[in-house]
Amino acid sequence: GDSVTQMEGPVTLSEEAFLTINCTYTATGYPSLFWYVQYPGEGLQLLLKATKADDKGSNKGFEATYRKETTSFHLEKGSVQVSDSAVYFCALRGGGNEKLTFGTGTRLTIIP
Amino acid sequence: DTAVSQTPKYLVTQMGNDKSIKCEQNLGHDTMYWYKQDSKKFLKIMFSYNNKELIINETVPNRFSPKSPDKAHLNLHINSLELGDSAVYFCASSQGGRGGGEKLFFGSGTQLSVL
């Protein structure tokens, strides 16, 4: 079945550091890939997505590129801010599948 | 206005009790979901309804029963609560027909603690 593996947290970085959160997936067909973010005390919200190979999703300075050859969708940001502190979830929706499959989440803490 | 609202926000109860969590969305979406997030933040889908019809039912104990009176509401009733049911339960909705949508809108969660 479909699955998503993302790097274990927690991740703690200083403000303005470079961020990478790794995500790899297993799926049949051609899945769509997503990053969701959960700020403290809130529900998840979509951060960015990519629907086919080599697509790059981007939002709020975050980027992720759909790499079919490595089955990866790593999240990156060049300069993080304290307000980026949250839990980040990688997710996929397989072709013909009716549900999103989430990774286990990575807690990110940015210190000033 | 809150797009997806669920109540209560916190629920503390004894083992063996029956409780309900309510969810309403005002986005006009066709599809609603219940997700369970455990203490390690692992998020797992439980149910999905499209236009009041159950379309996803993961391996969930039958003590959990979703009810959708209309497409804007999806309530979750839990019978005979157990310690292992303690978690945060998220309601979500999306637009996109039977296949659901790719962009889910989540409620802020209900933290259930079973003592």
Per-residue pLDDT tens digits for B56-86: 777 788 899 999 999 899 999 999 999 999 9
Can you give the C-alpha Rg of chain A in angstroms? 13
Q: Does B55 touch chain A (CB under 8 A)?
A: yes
Cα angle B81, B42, A67 (rounded to 5 degrees) comes to: 155
pLDDT at B60: 85
Structure tokens belonging to residue A97: 């599948």
Element (H, E) at A18: none
Q: What is the mean pLDDT of chain B?
A: 88
Residues B49, B30: Cα–Cα separation, whole Å: 8
Residues B23-32 have pLDDT tens digits of 999 999 988 9
Nearest-angstrom CA–CA distance, B66 and B57: 10
Asked if the C-beta of B90 comes within 8 angstroms of chain A's C-beta atoms, the answer is yes
The answer to whether B21 and B12 have CB atoms below 8 angstroms apart is: no
Residue A70: exposure state from Cβ atoms within 10 A (0-12, 13-18, ≥19): exposed
Please report which confidence band the pLDDT of residue B96 belongs to, taking 50, 70 and 90 as the band edges.
low
More confident: B42 or A16: A16
The DSSP secondary-structure symbol of B25 reads E
Residue B89 has pLDDT above 90, yes or no: yes
**Residue B102: pLDDT over 80:** no
% of chain B surpassing 90 pLDDT:
60
| Cβ neighbour number for residue B9 with a 10 Å cutoff | 13
Structure tokens at A52: 């086919």
Which is more confident, A109 or B42?
A109
Cα→Cα distances A26→A32, A67, A77, A87, Å: 12, 12, 24, 22
What are A8-55's pLDDT values in tens digits?
A: 889 999 999 999 999 999 988 889 999 999 998 788 899 999 999 999
- Largest separation between any pair of C-alpha atoms in chain A: 44
**Choice among A50-54, A67-71, B46-50, B95-99 with the minimum mean pLDDT:** B95-99
Does B51 touch chain A if contact means CB atoms closer than 8 Å? no
| Residue B3 exposure: Cα atoms within 13 Å on the Cβ side | 16
Residue of B nearest to A92 (CA): B102
Residues belonging to chain A with any Cβ–Cβ distance to chain B shorter than 8 Å: 32, 34, 36, 41-46, 49, 51, 87, 89, 93, 98-102, 104-105, 107
At residue B107, the pLDDT reads 93
List for chain A the helix, strand, coil content (%; round to 5): 5, 50, 45
DSSP character at residue A72: B
**How many other CB atoms sit within 10 Å of the CB of residue A71?**
16
